Amino acid sequence: MSDTGFIQKLPRALPGLALIVITMVVIRNYIEPWMTNAVVFGTKGWLIKATHLNYILLGIIMGMLYRNVLFGGKLPDVLSDGFKLSRLMIKTGIILLGSLYTLNAIVQLGSMAIFLIGGFVILTIIMVLWLGTVFGLDRSMIGVMANALSICGVSAAVATSPAVEAKASHVAYAIATILGFGIVTMFISPFIGHALGLTDLQYGAWIGTGILNSGQVLAAALAFNPNVAPGTAVSVAEIWNIMRVISIPFAVFAVTIWYWAGKAESADGKRKSLGTLLVEKFPVFVIGFMGMVFLTSMGAFGSVGLKGGPPASDTIQMLRLWMTWIFGFGLVGLGGYIDIRELRQAGGAPLKLGLIVGVTKYVLALLVVFAIKDYLVAI
Amino acid sequence: MGFSNIVVAVDGSEASQEALNHAVELARQSKSALTGFFIIDGGWPNFIGNDWQSAKGARQGFLDYIREEQEQQAEAARQQFEAAAEGIAESRFSILAGDPTELMISKANAVDTDLLIVGQRIFQVSGRPSLRSLSKRLAAKATRPLMLFP
């Protein structure tokens, strides 16, 4: 089940990548402009205003249609390697996203994010541990759900499972529940954000806290505002998201302690130290992102275009244009990995637990963002 | 009806025991060969495919962990099969790897399969959620004799 390297994959990935690129080019050059100009019910652009669909959500929908409708639930082998590479595209986009921030902005946004994310991670873990016990779920299942619901969905489930001896079937149901919930929130959040008149900062802080899965945070942010620039929804949401991702090794460590404390047998070398977890579970792309922030702060790409400062340099503007395309490609690929058959099979106590905790977190995050809106600082 | 090769899916759990017992009984009665198999689910990398934020170590560690669990399950399936098939002159067991639904359909339609016997909850013990509909899809796509057990 090992993944082969990037270079070996590349020739086999070309057909899938070509389909992804063509899809996004058609969406951005033909479908989105047509939706913007079409007159429906006597209103120009009604399709965009009513549905809040932009190239990001259209790309995800197309990816989902390819897999679940056109190809009957499974991507053909000739395309699957290209779609797999979507992970790399999104990671690359996130690293480039570092060019939106200076170190000063990161400190400002990051300190707000630590406050919100830290609080929500701890509260969510406690809630899942309690509710999971009430529902009589298996202890390892509770451990996986605790981290998956509190941090960032699939990444956290994957990182936690071996540490709490979760069975494959348990992990599968946890992932299906989390992805299903995340997909719903990804599509409804832009509606709610616009209906409530949220600013980019408020919206980014809300979804960065309330949506469970990282890819869906990115998509929901770009669906609300497709612009990639300092102060836009994606620039805020991703700082929140990165804070969550950084907390994975710590949360795995905490949940592992809880898991083994309740077991009759000893950990017997199965429980790993925090240092080992940091090495194994720390997402390397965060280092790339911080490197990009450092280079930006040093002026390597010229002016960032912060509010009140000089306009963004040509290099920065070019990077931002690239990012919109890279994210567009990556999210078509993400859509192609949403398997409706898998999600439809989610059920039972894990689904009940996931829904209760997920909805609570989603709504509570919105209320908290409203409550502290005067303290949120724009960059 | 005479059979020369009866094929049965075995997963080492109770979900495959009744189907296995019936396959053994039928093989004894018809003096046919009995072939058992287990499928290691190769769909996990794709299932977590959009997990783009995981550290490489975490992702590969998870896949290795799942693989280990499935290999243990495969060994349990082998033991379950060998215990049940004791005394049958021609019996063999194999472990396959790949997409369980595709491999099951290909087994069901193979020319040397006279009858495929399957429990409806087969491979759910270590599988992904979509395997819950495996027997339904198998019933829809099988072109040779198929026997499904609840």
Determine, for residues A337 and B65 on separate chains, whether the beta-carbon distance falls below 8 Å.
no
Q: Which of residues 1-40 of B touch A (CB under 8 A)?
A: none
Among A31, A62, A92, the domain-final residue is A92
Question: Along chain A (379 residues), what's the average pLDDT of each consecutive run of 10 residues?
Answer: 61 92 95 90 83 88 93 88 82 86 81 86 94 91 91 82 84 84 91 93 92 87 90 89 84 88 65 72 79 89 79 89 91 87 76 92 94 75
Nearest-CA neighbor of B108 among B71, B81, B145, B83?
B145
Q: What is the pLDDT of residues A165-174, one digit of tens each?
A: 888 878 888 8
Determine, for residues A342 and B61 on separate chains, whether the beta-carbon distance falls below 8 Å.
no
Q: Is position A6 within any domain?
A: no
> Is residue B24's pLDDT more than 70?
yes
For residue A351, the model assigns a pLDDT of 86
Mean pLDDT in residue range B86-107: 91
Q: Is position A363 within any domain?
A: yes
For residue A378, the model assigns a pLDDT of 64
For residue A2, the model assigns a pLDDT of 46
* Residues A28 and A100 occupy one common structural domain: no
Determine the Cα angle at A54 with ends A293 and A56, to 5°.
Answer: 50
Q: What is the pLDDT of residues B123-147, one digit of tens each?
A: 887 777 777 778 888 889 888 989 8
For residue A295, the model assigns a pLDDT of 92
Among A45, A62, A92, the domain-final residue is A92
Please give, rounded to a whole number of angstroms, the shortest distance from the CA of B104 to a CA of chain A: 16
> What are the chain B neighbours of A173 within 8 Å (beta carbons)?
129
For residue A264, the model assigns a pLDDT of 65
Determine, for residues A84 and B46 on separate chains, whether the beta-carbon distance falls below 8 Å.
yes
For residue B56, the model assigns a pLDDT of 63
> What are the chain A neighbours of B58 within 8 Å (beta carbons)?
155, 158-159, 248, 280-281
* Residues A68 and A88 occupy one common structural domain: yes
CA separation for the pair A79, A86 (Å, rounded): 12
Q: Is position A213 within any domain?
A: yes
CB-nearest to A341 from B53, B57, B133 is: B133
The range of the structural domain enclosing residue B79 comes to: 5-149
Among A92, A115, A137, the domain-final residue is A92
Q: Is position A3 within any domain?
A: no
Q: What is the pLDDT of residues A314-334, one digit of tens each?
A: 999 999 899 999 999 998 988
For residue A311, the model assigns a pLDDT of 84
Q: Among A84-98, B51-65, B98-112, which stretch is predicted with the lowest mean pLDDT? A: B51-65
Mean pLDDT in residue range B89-116: 91
How many independent structural domains does chain B possess?
1
* Residues A21 and A121 occupy one common structural domain: no
Q: For chain B, give the percent of residues with pLDDT over 90.
A: 45
For residue B51, the model assigns a pLDDT of 52
Structure tokens at B1: 């009806």
* Residues A88 and A128 occupy one common structural domain: no
> What are the chain A neighbours of B129 within 8 Å (beta carbons)?
172-173, 176, 341-346
Q: Are A166 and A143 in contact (CB under 8 A)?
A: yes
Q: Among A90-94, B24-28, B68-72, B141-145, which stretch is predicted with the lowest mean pLDDT? A: A90-94
Structure tokens at B147: 């026997």
* Residues A343 and A208 occupy one common structural domain: yes
Q: Is position A7 within any domain?
A: no
* Residues A209 and A252 occupy one common structural domain: yes
How many independent structural domains does chain A possess?
2
Q: Is position A4 within any domain?
A: no
The range of the structural domain enclosing residue A296 comes to: 94-375
> What are the chain A neighbours of B50 within 8 Å (beta carbons)?
86-87, 154, 179, 215, 333-334, 337-338
CB within 8 Å of A32: residues ≥ 6 apart: A48, A54, A55, A58
For residue A4, the model assigns a pLDDT of 56
CB-nearest to A155 from B41, B45, B53 is: B53
Q: Is position A1 within any domain?
A: no
Nearest-CA neighbor of A67 among A372, A312, A251, A343?
A343
